[in-house]
Amino acid sequence: MKPIHDLLPYLCAEQSNRWANGDHVPVEEFVSQFQELKEDTSSLLDLIYHEIYLREIHQEPIDLEMFSKRFPYLRSDIALMFEVHQLVDTGNLEVSDELPTNSEIDEFPDPVADVLRVLSETYPFSELPRNVQESIAGQSIYRVFDAGEYLVRQGDISDSLLIIKSGEVEIRLNHSETEVEVIGYCSVNNVIGEIGIFTNSTRSADAVAIGEAVALEVPLALYEQMNRDFPATSSMIANQVSERIGGHDIDILTNKSLEGYRIIKRLGRGSMGVVYLSERVSDGKRYALKMLRHDILCNQKACQRFTQESEILRDLDHPLILKTYQAFHAMATMFLVMDYCEGVSLRKWMDTSEHLEIDIIKHVAAQLMDALLYAHDCGIIHRDVKPSNVMINESYQVTLMDFGLARSSVNPSLTHTGELLGSPRYMAIEQFTGGDVGPKADYYALGCLIYEMLTGAALFDSHDLIGMLTQRMQWSMPEKDVIFPELDNEVYDFLRSCLEADKERRLADYDKETLIALSESWRLNQIV
């Protein structure tokens, strides 16, 4: 675990994001998650000051007595903080984003005023308090690059950030001495060099001027000072890094080797991670690398769930469950090494198939039953069974993936009653309402998936949570022929039992042996 002062930028980022979404989380919530804050007065005061800053932005009351009652042992420090706060411009964003007026320009030399203008128009610098912008403006310099000149070179030391003031820049990835690939372009108000700075690595690609280009150079030392003065800076940079790593099939990680695995291309991107196709350098065998996205590094539970997925999958050994072999840290984030599955997601397969034969639907359902029976025997509840978490190949063999939300006796603290975790469209009532979730919730999701394969439409189609909950409460099982022409009783009865809203009645007539027999009878062939 990183020291708490290293995690402070991420905590500020999470606090900012949650306030922006209407969840005005107090400092105490972070103290309850990170006990080290109680021992690190400096970091705790930084976090308190960040809440004061957010309260001003969101026009919430800022009261010394309120904070003093919440943190009585820091009363004198907080009082001093309030005095300083009244004297210093705290960076109200509406003010910070404005261009300097004539009177403001007169206070600075013209070059500094011009730099302020560039900063106020460039994210994430536009989000910084005005006094921090002024500090950057007074210490940064402009650099002019001729056509074809390198702003940065791949492999060089990352010693600065560059903000493009004018011109256009081509981003090139060097795969070898003779193979160069253009992966993007940057223009006015784009930032260059943030990946190397944030991940503490060398330059990830070449940046070459197309015609004359002018860029503002922010030295590494100034960036580090900016982080100390305004910790949320790192989270903003993390958002930028997340957009550029994993946003396209080919990106700056392509052809790079991490822990003995050479990345070939991106396979997919989800809410928590990015999945890359890679090959092991030692023998050329292909694997999938799942990378935790940089923009959610501040979320402690997300990081724990990412690690838990590795722990769970390393203990599972089943031909229909994606195997994970190791976890490692690189590029300032975490990676999982997993089996590479040929084929497409069940989501894509369903969307591109005009009509699914009943025998194929039963075969797919049988395999998922088999995988769930095994996982449940191991004490694992998947909790997020849905089409995008299932792969299917040309032989109709499926692979169940993404155990990031799974609950295990390994670490039950990550899932509490009252939490809404999973995909609402496939959630059982007890999971949707934050109740106790058991194996039957996975079968409810399986029922939703089977229904969707049979009908070609999702069982619940509302676009908001309240609407989906209402649909569940009002839903009743249609007749067989309405769901699928000539649907046999065995499938219909199993589907109806899976979709029982009452978890006590759900699968009431199906014990483990019955489910095993059903799975075996529905399989077209035995997958080994």
Which CATH number describes the domain made up of 257-339?
A: 3.30.200.20
| Backbone φ, ψ for residue 439 (5° rounding) | -55, -30
More confident site: 64 or 410: 64
Q: How many CA atoms lie within 13 A of 451 on its CB side?
A: 27
pLDDT tens, position by position, 109-168 = 567 888 888 998 998 888 888 888 888 888 889 999 999 999 999 999 999 999 999 999
- Out of 61-65, 355-359, 370-374, pick the least confident: 61-65
| Crossing angle between the packed helical segments 75-87 and 41-57, to the nearest 10 degrees | 40
In this structure, what token pair is assigned to residue 208?
Answer: 């070459």
Distance CA 388, CA 360 (A): 18
In terms of pLDDT, which residue wins out, 85 or 119?
119
- Average pLDDT along the chain: 83
DSSP 479: P
Output the pLDDT for position 418.
Answer: 37
10 — phi, psi (to 5°)? -70, -35
One-character DSSP codes across 360-403: HHHHHHHHHHHHHHHHHHTT-B-----GGGEEE-TT--EEE---
301/379: higher pLDDT: 379
User: Given this model, what pLDDT does residue 102 score?
Assistant: 45
pLDDT at residue 429, rounded to an integer: 82
Both tokens of residue 443?
């079968």
Maximum Cα–Cα distance across the chain: 83
Task: Tell me the residue type at 179.
Answer: E
DSSP assignment, residue 247? S
Name the more confident of 502 and 525. Answer: 502
Domains 101-244 and 257-339 share a fold: no
Contact between 333 and 294 (Cβ < 8 Å): yes
For the residues 282-287, what does the mean pLDDT come to? Answer: 96
**How high is the pLDDT of residue 372?**
96
Q: Which two tokens stand for residue 16?
A: 């900012």
CA distance 481 to 35: 59
Residue 453 identity (one-letter amino acid):
M
Q: Is 72 left (phi over 0), alpha (psi -120 to 50) or beta?
A: alpha
> In this structure, what token pair is assigned to residue 10?
């991420």
- Look up the CATH number of domain 101-244: 2.60.120.10
330-364 tens-digit pLDDT? 998 889 899 998 899 999 999 998 888 999 999 99
* pLDDT bracket for residue 101 (50, 70, 90): very low
Helix (H, G, I), strand (E, B) or coil at 298: coil
Do 101 and 116 contact (CB within 8 A), yes or no?
Answer: no
Residue range 344-522, CATH number: 1.10.510.10
Q: How far apart are CA 447 and CA 420, in angstroms?
A: 20
User: What confidence category does residue 210 fall into, taking pLDDT thresholds of 50, 70 and 90?
Assistant: very high
| 299 or 320: which leads in pLDDT | 320
Residue 163 bridge partners (DSSP): 191, 216
pLDDT at 196 over 80: yes
Candidates 403, 431, 405; CA nearest to 417 is: 431
Predicted local confidence at residue 77, as pLDDT? 80
Residue 89 clears pLDDT 50, i.e. is over it:
no
CB 162 within 8 A of CB 122: no
Residue at token pair 């009743």: 476
Nearest to 399 by CA among 374, 380, 422, 416: 374
Domain ranges of the chain: 4-87, 101-244, 257-339, 344-522
Average pLDDT value for residue range 25-35: 84
Residue 410 has pLDDT above 60, yes or no: no
pLDDT at residue 92 greater than cutoff 60: no
Say whether pLDDT at 103 is over 80: no
How many whole angstroms separate alpha carbon 338 and alpha carbon 290?
A: 7
pLDDT bracket for residue 387 (50, 70, 90): very high
Percent helix, percent strand, percent coil in the chain, to nearest 5: 45, 20, 35
Mean pLDDT over residues 49-54, rounded?
80
What are the pLDDT digits (tens) for 440-461? 999 999 999 999 999 999 888 7
308-329 pLDDT tens trace: 777 777 778 899 998 888 888 8
In angstroms, rounded to a whole number, what is the distance separating the alpha carbons of residues 10 and 298? 4
If DSSP codes are grouped into helix, strand and coil, which group holds residue 263? strand
Q: Is the dihedral of CA 14, 20, 21, 24 positive or negative?
A: positive
pLDDT higher than threshold 70 for residue 2: no
State the pairing for strand pair 206-219/324-330. Answer: unpaired
pLDDT class for 241, splitting at 50, 70, 90? Answer: confident
Check residue 153 and give its pLDDT: 94
Q: What was the pLDDT predicted at 109?
A: 53
Predicted local distance difference test score (pLDDT) of residue 9: 66
CA Rg value for the chain: 27
Two structure tokens written together for 126: 């536009």
Say what the pLDDT of residue 11 is: 74
Higher-confidence position of 303 and 216: 216
pLDDT in tens, 506-525: 999 999 999 999 999 999 87
To the nearest 10 degrees (0 to 180), the angle between helices 130-139 and 110-120 is: 130
Quick check: 370 pLDDT over 50? Answer: yes
Query: Which pLDDT belongs to residue 138?
Result: 85
The yes-or-no verdict on residue 406 having pLDDT over 50 is yes
pLDDT average, residue stretch 290-306: 76
What is the rounded CA–CA span in Å between residue 499 and residue 505?
A: 10
Mean pLDDT calculated for residue range 416-445: 74
Lowest model confidence (mean pLDDT) among 91-100, 213-222, 398-407, 505-514: 91-100
